[in-house]
């Protein structure tokens, strides 16, 4: 039977010894040869060799407490500033904790074995091994209550509009404090990257908006605008001759929101489309429990979320995002030049008109 198959056509596993002078990118390419290390290598190569092409629109979803761990500063901001992310869907909690850093507050490394009863008595809040003073929450709450009292917030708006305005104020606070760029919200404002929150009431930001509503605040989140704007971003990527890619960190509601853009286009708006072209997910969830966080790209094909012809361009890494994202970021910065920012936030009206026009044509066809 020898020679009648191609199962042994892959490169030989024969790595060179690791040295102290190796870069992260070199390490990934030479030593990440099997198991989830190999999936991470494949993810890095997919991201750099295909997803970062100029004609690809990249959406990133962020789930899990990543910004408290510093990944906003260490990874997301460099990705934004190099044009490697075009739009974002995040939990509100990640954006709330991101704000701490932008307004000059601190979070600290701690011991997860510390008694939570003792921490409570001392006024210390814990996110596993991240510790911070309870006053950090109170100060951030006060920051949001003050800015949303402003006249520009007294209306209904998409979460992208809300986060863009918030980013402006956080960027100004960074400037006054002379602390450099600490907040991804501020970085996204500068790059005109729209940031959506799929569950805007499910965070301390949403809680403070709700509190202001009790005393006459007029701010309301237009979630239907979020659904249509995000769908318009994806459709525009395809209609302008490009492709759509998703980089999913974790799962949950942001994962569904970034992927449901295609069912919104195809199933609901009846516009002819095939699905996202590139799918890259980092997750620690199992697929066999039926939860969305572990759902595979092939399952997404059945919903119309992923183009079935593009399944080979899909990678799932079963890893902690705090491990995978820094490596992916370092690899991308080493292996790809910066891209020009697409500044999608500034183009929302035109994209929405394009979506409405295509929907009208689809309805006319019956």
Query: How does pLDDT run across 315-351, given as a tens digit for each residue?
Result: 999 999 999 999 999 999 999 999 999 999 999 999 9
Domain coordinates of the chain in residue numbers?
Answer: 54-364
Which string of DSSP letters, residue by residue, matches 8-40? T-SPP--PPPP-TT--HHHHHHHH--SHHHHHH
Q: Which pTM value belongs to this model?
A: 0.93
**Residue-level pLDDT at 314:** 84
Is 305 a residue of the active site? yes
Query: How does pLDDT run across 216-253, given as a tens digit for each residue?
Result: 999 999 999 999 999 999 999 999 999 999 999 998 99
Q: How far apart are CA 170 and CA 76, in angstroms?
A: 16
CA distances from 209 to 80, 133, 217, 220, 257 (A): 27, 23, 8, 8, 22
Task: Considering the candidates 255, 305, 310, 342, report the single residue annotated as catalytic.
Answer: 305
- 318 alpha carbon, distance to own chain's centre: 17
Q: How far apart are CA 301 and CA 57, in angstroms?
A: 19
Architecture of domain 54-364: 3-Layer(aba) Sandwich (3.40)
**Residue-level pLDDT at 5:** 77
**Residue-level pLDDT at 287:** 72
Residue 190 corresponds to which tokens in the numbers above?
């500068």
**Residue-level pLDDT at 290:** 65
Q: Which residues of the chain have pLDDT under 50?
A: none
Residue 172 has phi, psi (to 5 degrees) of -65, -40
């Amino acid at each position: 039977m020898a020679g009648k198959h191609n199962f042994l056509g892959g490169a030989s596993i024969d790595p060179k010894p690791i040295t102290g002078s190796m870069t992260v990118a070199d390490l990934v390419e030479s030593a990440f040869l099997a198991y989830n290390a190999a999936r991470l290598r494949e993810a890095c190569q997919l991201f750099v060799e295909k997803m970062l092409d100029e004609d690809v629109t990249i959406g990133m979803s962020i789930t899990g407490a990543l910004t408290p761990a510093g990944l906003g500063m260490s990874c997301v901001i460099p990705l934004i500033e190099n044009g490697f992310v075009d739009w974002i869907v995040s939990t509100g909690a990640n954006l709330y904790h991101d704000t701490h850093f932008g307004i000059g507050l601190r979070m600290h490394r701690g011991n997860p074995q510390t008694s939570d009863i003792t921490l409570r008595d001392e006024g210390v809040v814990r996110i596993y091994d991240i510790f911070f003073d309870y006053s950090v929450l109170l100060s951030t709450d006060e920051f949001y209550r003050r800015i949303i009292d402003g006249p520009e917030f007294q209306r209904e708006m998409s979460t992208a509009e809300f986060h863009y305005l918030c980013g402006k104020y956080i960027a100004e606070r960074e400037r006054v404090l002379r602390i450099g760029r600490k907040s991804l919200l501020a970085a996204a404002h500068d790059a005109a990257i729209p940031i959506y929150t799929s569950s805007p009431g499910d965070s301390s930001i949403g809680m403070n908006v709700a509190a202001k509503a009790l005393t006459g605040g007029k701010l309301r989140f237009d979630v239907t605008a979020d659904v249509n704007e995000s769908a318009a971003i994806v459709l525009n990527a395809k209609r302008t001759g490009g492709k759509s890619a998703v980089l999913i960190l974790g799962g949950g509601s942001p994962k569904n929101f970034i992927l449901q853009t295609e069912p919104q286009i195809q199933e609901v708006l009846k516009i002819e489309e095939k699905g996202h072209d590139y799918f890259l997910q980092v997750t620690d969830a199992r697929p066999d429990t039926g939860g969305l966080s572990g759902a595979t790209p092939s399952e997404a094909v059945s919903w119309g979320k992923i183009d079935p012809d593009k399944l080979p361009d899909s990678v799932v890494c079963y890893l902690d995002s705090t491990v995978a994202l820094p490596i992916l970021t370092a690899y991308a910065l080493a292996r790809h030049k910066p891209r020009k920012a697409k500044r999608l936030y500034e183009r929302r009206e035109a994209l929405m008109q394009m979506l409405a026009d295509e929907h009208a044509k689809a309805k006319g066809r019956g």
